[in-house]
Structure 1
Amino acid sequence: MPISPSSNAQAARRALAARLGELMRDAGLKGGELSARCGWHPAKTSRILNAKVAPSDSDVRSWCRACGADDQAADLVASNRAADSLYVEWRRITRTGLRQAQEARVPLYIRTRHFRAYSSRVVPGALQTREYASALLRTVADVRQTPDDVEAAVEARLTRSSVVFEGGRRFVAVVEESVLRYRIGDDEVMANQLSHLIRVMSMPSVSLGIIPFAAARTMWPTETFNLFDDRQAGVELLSAQVTVTAPSDLALYARAFARFAGLAVHGSAARALITAAIDTLG
């Protein structure tokens, strides 16, 4: 399997190689001994350790077995598979505009039955009104200096979001109270967006929790992230989109989400926070 020319993919390969090297040393093995246990030429071990060749999934499993670390195999295989897409810069994703980035995730949304979204900055995409999404994506396009296809991107986002509310799916969102206060668009856009949140809260397939400013924190605010069933997490950084698939990392995000959900208020208490935010608008 040839190594991707992407510098980010190479960095991921080097990180994987470093972890494999640690397993070998922790097992008290040298390269030749590990090669013999795996049944391949010592040159292959050297190329893997130096990140000159990407190991196959079976190579990773054999390596872990040789080191007595079968419990590490699932995480390392996931890291190996995700090396090319683990960290993708937004400038690569949006080089032709924002629409493509919205459309690219439709298959993931169609596969997913249980969505979990945490946000400390903006209303989660699936709960955005057209006007709020337009104001937000126009700002994104300006900051990232992408081609102006905002109207098409908004349509694509709304189409993608509609999948969430189709039968058999559950959408659970937790947002910080600050999300209700940050002004995206003008007062009318924000008032309509906040009113929309109150409306969607009544949907049986939607759960919206809000973490009040006054909550006694057992989990600090983090970057926005989304969990798609138990298979994948998406983390949104300013400069890049990060895809998480390693089981131990997914478990960490699931634990963090559970803590956020425990801090949040729901129902009438959540509606009161939204109404208070509406009342601050002109």
Structure 2
Amino acid sequence: MARSPSSSVQTAREALAARLREVRLDAGLTAREVALQAGWHPSKASRLENAITPPSDADIRAWCGICGAGDQAADFIAASRSAESMYVEWRRVQRTGLRRLQESYVPLFERTRTFRIYCSNVVPGLLQTPAYATALLSEITDFRQSPNDVTEAVAARMDRARVLRQGDHRFAILVEEAVLRYRMGDAEVMAGQLGHLLSIMSLPAVSLGVVPFTAFRGMWPLETFSVYDSEQAQVELLTAAVNVTAPSEVAQYATAFDQLSEMAVYGSPARALIAEAIGTLG
């Protein structure tokens, strides 16, 4: 059975509480000693450690400082702030259809300057044609039994793609070669989509790399993920989106992206792979 969003939030809070307890134990302190040094009521430390009371940013800084773990405070604070939104169940956000979900990304896209996007299964949303997006979102709607607003959702997806040509944004995008081969829609839809990728490669703000089947794998294929500046990473699972904001975890996704990018080909070699995929559609 899938977790409910509320249980996932509680799990995140409990994980943070466990990390606070670990740094206290590593420091050789009791919960009462931490509370006394922080100037709290003795019961507060116990409430924090048992995820009964969510900690404030100041609570976390004080706790980490007392326990000699000040360098971990930023990660703990990020984990605390993102507990409510770190696990977003698709079923919940798509209960009224897909259009609102597409529109919800617009503020994030507009404020992000550097996008790092890796896709192992489908063409990234920002690079999709209307026909490809229609085929994909129709499949998602059917699978999740969401209200059918595919036409409106596709329009919203196309509208948000204006960031490719507007504003001060840079896009580093990687796809596995399999993405070029997986057929979403019929041959005509795929030919149009692959041709669109060739045209997108000419945009000055876009770097599109393809990880070939023949690449020596220094990094295994991963689930689709995006890194927005250095502030947030989002990972797409079958049932949910996981939003990561802890600096050390965002850094891991950035490192994974860097390693994947080293295996990718760009420019003429990438165009050749796309053209080869078009050639198989006959």
Please give the range of the TM-score, normalised by the shorter of the 2 chains.
over 0.9
1:119 equivalent in alignment to 2:109: no
Partner residue in 1 for 2:32? 32
Map 1:67-82 onto structure 2 (within 5 A): 67-82=67-82
What is the distance in 2 between the residues matched to 1:202 and 1:213?
A: 24
Q: Which runs of 5+ in 2 are unaligned?
A: none
Amino acid at match of 2:66: A
Q: Could you tell me how far apart the structure 2 residues matched to 1:163 and 1:174 are?
A: 18
| Residue 161 (structure 2) pairs with residue 170 (structure 1) | no
Give the deviation of 1:126 after TM superposition.
0.6
User: How far apart are 1:174 and its partner, in Å?
Assistant: 0.5
- The 5 Å alignment of 1:33-72 reads 33-72=33-72
The Cα shift of 1:167 comes to 3.0
Aligned to 2:249: 249
CA contact (8 A) 2:219 2:256 kept: yes
The aligned counterpart of 2:140 is 140
Please give the secondary structure, in 1, of the residue aligned with 2:202: coil
* AA of the residue aligned to 1:8: S
User: Pairwise mapping of residues 143-154 of structure 1 onto structure 2 (< 5 A)?
Assistant: 143-154=143-154
Q: How many residues align?
A: 279
- The AA in structure 2 aligned to 1:277 is A
**Does the CA-based 8 Å contact 1:109-1:164 persist in structure 2?**
no
Runs of 4+ in 1 over 4 A off after TM superposition: none
1:65-104 equivalent positions in 2, closer than 5 A: 65-104=65-104
Offset, 1:157: 0.8
Q: Aligned partners of 1:66, 1:153: CA distance in 2, in Å?
A: 50
By how many angstroms is 1:162 displaced?
1.2
**What is the DSSP-based 3-state SS (H/G/I as helix, E as strand, rest coil) of the residue aligned with 1:6?**
helix
What is the Cα deviation at residue 203 of structure 1? 1.0
Tell me the alpha carbon deviations over residues 102-148 of structure 1, each in whole angstroms, 9 at most, x when there is no partner. Answer: 11111001101111100000001110000000100000111111110
- 1:162-241 aligned within 5 A: 162-241=162-241
SS in structure 2 at match of 1:242: strand
Query: 1:258 matched to which residue of 2?
Result: 258
Report the counterpart of residue 15 of structure 1 in structure 2: 15
> So what's the TM-score if we normalise by structure 2?
0.97
Separation in 2, partners of 1:17, 1:102:
34
Q: Using the aligned pairs only, state the percent identity.
A: 59
Deviations 1:143-195 (A, max 9, x none): 11111011111011111111232132111100000000000000000000000
Corresponding letter in the other structure for 1:155: A
CA contact (8 A) 1:17 1:50 kept: yes
User: 1 CA distance for matches of 2:95 and 2:113?
Assistant: 30
Shift in Å at residue 7 of structure 1?
A: 1.1
Instruction: Report the TM-score, using the length of structure 1 for normalisation.
Output: 0.97
Amino acid at match of 1:34: V
Q: Are the equivalent residues in 1 in contact too, given 2:172–2:207 (CA < 8 A)?
A: yes
Q: Secondary structure of the equivalent of 1:216?
A: coil
Q: What one-letter code is carried by the residue in structure 2 that aligns with 1:234?
A: Q
In 1, Cα distance between the equivalents of 2:99 and 2:8? 23
